[in-house]
Amino acid sequence: MESSKSPPSANVFGGFWGFLRRCLFYVLTLGPMPTHVAFIMDGNRRFTRIRKMETGAGHRAGLTSLMSALQYCYEMGITYVTVYAFSIDNFRRKPEEVEHVMNLMLEKLENLLEEESLVTKYGVRVNFWGNLRMLSEPVRLAIEKAMAATSANTGPVLSVCVAYTSTAEITHAVEESCRERLKAVQEGRSSVATLSVKDVERSLYTAGCPDPDVVIRTSGETRLSNFLLWQTSITHLQNPSVLWPGFSIRHLVWSILEYQRAQPYLEKRKRFNF
Amino acid sequence: MEPPEAALVPFPPGLTPELMPRHVAFIMDGNSRWAKERGLPTSAGHEAGYRSLREIVRLSSYWGIKVLTVFAFSSENWLRPKTEVDFLMRLFEGVIRENLEDFKRQGIRLCIIGDATKLPPSLQKLAMEAAEVTRENAVIELLVAVSYSGRSDIVQACQKIAQRVKDGTLEPADITEAVIEEELVTNCIINSPYPDLLIRTSGELRLSNFLLWQSAYSELYFSKSLWPDFGEAEYVDALSSFQQRQRRFGLRT
């Protein structure tokens, strides 16, 4: 696979563009910035069809788009980024497509930790959230290796939802909190009836991570498709019509501006959690 | 089964009967802002909101929608000023009493969902009676979420499941999504437990802890109208938007 776009600073124009971009981001950061942005990266296959590309090219283009989006987020100082890479429902797609996505993921995981990579440059800690046992062994091992290698990083956090649905995550959390509560009841420390929201939250994959401030779903669809349902109660939802591979810096800047516009009202409602 | 007057109300042009959502949910936001814009007290906003709800229920039953779930009062709303909260509790009671006869005539099956323990005892009692009296009605199911929170819904399901585990009737390893779904408060719904379409009024783009589990695959529609202004025209727009969407549930079209 070609490496991600050559670093912008590789040539004079790249350097100038990088400078302009940093100025733009500086201005943006004068307003309230989201701490956590989540992406539902929808539209890869439609991109392939519309551009009459070969099967799977849309996903590859989507991956390039993701790397750029991450770079811009980190340059803007956004500390948490979460992406919906592969839902449990997606396993029901054609086997060739599933295999292609898995191979792409494997490829990316293998060069994740290289010197020139984003992860190394920004000290990103990478999480993978989902039912990882549903993945093939090579992919699962590569994921575990990536998580272990970056677990001590103190930079921004990238969470990739793979083999994930929110209802599966919540079910897993319910099972965990039931087991813990049962143990506490048997030891006489507690009763079942005092099981609370916090008990369930502790067992979610997202424990310790702040709720997303914004969820951006590309390709114009307006639904969550079983993504972070628990965590997006007061999250600002956006659905730009651009397909994911076309999601560029101007779309991201626009999203941030939209968030900043809604922010004063959001803050006020947060006090009432409504 | 349709209400007797349905034949007299034309189906909106531009909408396809076969593509109507079976279950529509509403976050009825904007009553306070509506009142403020008109220099009226908040209570006037809530009363106007009630009239809007009546109209939506009427239209939904004519157009073949089988379930309506409306977010009347969230757990977080208990933090609002006491006068407003008391007014709302009285409004809910008054509304149920006033409409009990109508529910029977229009075939509406009423169910109040949420944490009933926080409601005034008279409202709790009335809610139970209304549910009982309307149990056999079959035109449309109307769920009114009062003192409801999506997260608390899941936690109360979790508590019931933990009790079953403690009683030995369920193994932790057997806890599946289906087990949780059985215990959610929306299990009183007979048809289509999950909303196909979730509409939030007043332009806010978030779900505010409503039907969190149940709306995993719901099409979301955000209307800029304030709830008291949401009428037939706005409803048709929302339904039209729904009918044009392609729902894939994670698969390819």
| C-alpha separations of A250 from A40, A68, A71, B33, B79 in Å | 17, 12, 14, 33, 40
Which is nearest to A236 in space by CA: A208, A217, A209? A217
- Average of pLDDT values for B135-142? 94
Element (H, E) at B5: none
Query: What confidence category does residue A4 fall into, taking pLDDT thresholds of 50, 70 and 90?
Result: very low
Report percent pLDDT > 90 for chain B: 82
Query: What confidence category does residue A2 fall into, taking pLDDT thresholds of 50, 70 and 90?
Result: very low
Put simply, whether B79 touches A (Cβ < 8 Å) is yes
| Chain A hits for B206, Cβ within 8 Å | 232-237, 266
Interface subset of B 111-150, CB within 8 angstroms of A: 150
| C-alpha separations of B136 from A101, A230, A260, B126, B140 in Å | 50, 34, 50, 17, 11
Question: What pLDDT is recorded for position A118?
Answer: 86
Q: To which residue do tokens 């009183």 refer?
A: B188
| Chain A hits for B74, Cβ within 8 Å | 274
| Chain B hits for A197, Cβ within 8 Å | 151-152, 155
Interface subset of B 186-215, CB within 8 angstroms of A: 204-209, 212-213, 215
Determine the residue type at A103: N
**Is B3 inside a domain boundary?**
no
In a mutational test of the A interface, the residue from B33, B205, B207 whose CB has the highest number of chain A CBs within 10 Å is B205
Distance between CA atoms of residues B166 and A182, nearest Å = 6
Question: What pLDDT is recorded for position A3?
Answer: 40
Q: To which residue do tokens 């067992």 refer?
A: A203
Residues of B183-212 as b/e, b for ≥16 C-beta within 10 angstroms?
bbbbeebeeebbbbbbbbbbebbbbbbbbb
**Is B29 inside a domain boundary?**
yes
**Is B140 inside a domain boundary?**
yes
Q: What is the pTM of this model?
A: 0.90
Locate the domains of chain A by residue range: 36-164+211-272, 166-209
State how far residue A196 is from chain B, nearest Cα, in angstroms.
Answer: 6
Top-confidence range, A182-191, A202-211, A262-271: A202-211
Q: Terminal CA-to-CA distance of chain B, rounded, Å? A: 32
Q: Which top CATH class is A36-164+211-272?
A: alpha beta
Q: What is the ipTM for the molecules in this complex?
A: 0.88
Element (H, E) at B74: strand B67-74
Q: What are the tens digits of pLDDT across the range A221-253?
A: 999 999 999 999 889 999 999 999 999 999 999
Q: What are the tens digits of pLDDT across the range A32-91?
A: 999 999 999 999 989 988 988 887 888 889 999 999 999 999 999 999 999 999 999 999
Whether residue B220 and residue A224 make contact (CB cut-off 8 A), yes or no, is: yes
Question: What pLDDT is recorded for position A1?
Answer: 38
Report percent pLDDT > 70 for chain A: 91
Q: To which residue do tokens 């124009």 refer?
A: A13
Question: What pLDDT is recorded for position A115?
Answer: 66
DSSP for A177-205 reads HHHHHHHHHHTTS--GGG--HHHHHHTST
Put simply, whether B85 touches A (Cβ < 8 Å) is no
State how far residue B156 is from chain A, nearest Cα, in angstroms.
Answer: 8
Q: What are the tens digits of pLDDT across the range B180-234?
A: 999 999 999 988 899 999 999 999 888 899 999 999 999 999 999 999 999 999 9
Question: What pLDDT is recorded for position A173?
Answer: 93
**Is B161 inside a domain boundary?**
no
- Comparing B128 with B249, which gets the higher pLDDT? B128
Whether residue A178 and residue B155 make contact (CB cut-off 8 A), yes or no, is: no
Q: What are the tens digits of pLDDT across the range A126-143?
A: 999 999 999 999 999 999
Query: What confidence category does residue B1 fall into, taking pLDDT thresholds of 50, 70 and 90?
Result: low
Q: What is the mean pLDDT of chain A?
A: 88
Distance between CA atoms of residues A120 and A130, nearest Å = 24
Put simply, whether A229 touches B (Cβ < 8 Å) is yes
Q: Which of A125-129, A172-176, B100-104, B243-247 has the lowest mean pLDDT?
A: B243-247
**Is B166 inside a domain boundary?**
no
- A162 contacts B129 by C-beta, under 8 angstroms: no
Question: What pLDDT is recorded for position A17?
Answer: 87
Size of interface A-B (CB pairs under 8 A): 141
Q: Which of B28-32, B51-55, B165-169, B174-178 has the lowest mean pLDDT?
A: B165-169
Which tokens belong to A120?
A: 């190394």
Angle between helices B82-106 and B42-62 (to 10 degrees): 20
Question: What pLDDT is recorded for position A57?
Answer: 87
**Is B14 inside a domain boundary?**
no
Put simply, whether B78 touches A (Cβ < 8 Å) is no
* A89 classed as catalytic: no
Helix, strand, coil shares of chain B as percentages rounded to 5?
50, 15, 35
CATH number, domain of B121, equals 3.40.1180.10
Q: Nearest 10 degrees: CA dihedral of B248, B212, B220, A61?
A: -50
Distance between CA atoms of residues B151 and B210, nearest Å = 8
Domain limits for position B99: 20-149+193-243
Q: Report how many domains make up chain B.
A: 1
Q: Which of A122-126, A183-187, B48-52 has the lowest mean pLDDT?
A: A183-187
- According to DSSP, the residues that pair with B148 across neighbouring strands are B74
**Is B101 inside a domain boundary?**
yes
Question: Which residue of B lies nearest to A212 if distances are taken between CA atoms?
Answer: B206
Whether residue B154 and residue A170 make contact (CB cut-off 8 A), yes or no, is: yes
Question: Which residue of A lies nearest to B176 if distances are taken between CA atoms?
Answer: A171
**Is B230 inside a domain boundary?**
yes
Put simply, whether A134 touches B (Cβ < 8 Å) is no
Which tokens belong to A50?
A: 């519309």
Q: What are the tens digits of pLDDT across the range B24-72?
A: 999 999 999 999 999 999 999 999 999 999 999 999 999 999 999 999 9
DSSP for chain A reads -PPSS--GGGSHHHHHHHHHHHHHHHHHTTS---SEEEEE---HHHHHHHTTPPTTHHHHHHHHHHHHHHHHHHHTT--EEEEEEEEGGGGGS-HHHHHHHHHHHHHHHHTTTSTTSHHHHHT-EEEEES-GGGS-HHHHHHHHHHHHHHTT--S-EEEEEEEE-HHHHHHHHHHHHHHHHHHHHHTTS--GGG--HHHHHHTSTTTTSPPPSEEEE-TT----SSSSTTTTTTPEEE--SS-GGG--HHHHHHHHHHHHHHHHHHHHHHHHT-
Q: What are the tens digits of pLDDT across the range A8-40?
A: 444 566 688 889 999 999 999 999 999 999 999
Question: What pLDDT is recorded for position B60?
Answer: 95
Element (H, E) at B223: none
Q: Is the pLDDT of residue A270 over 80?
A: no
Question: What pLDDT is recorded for position B253?
Answer: 39
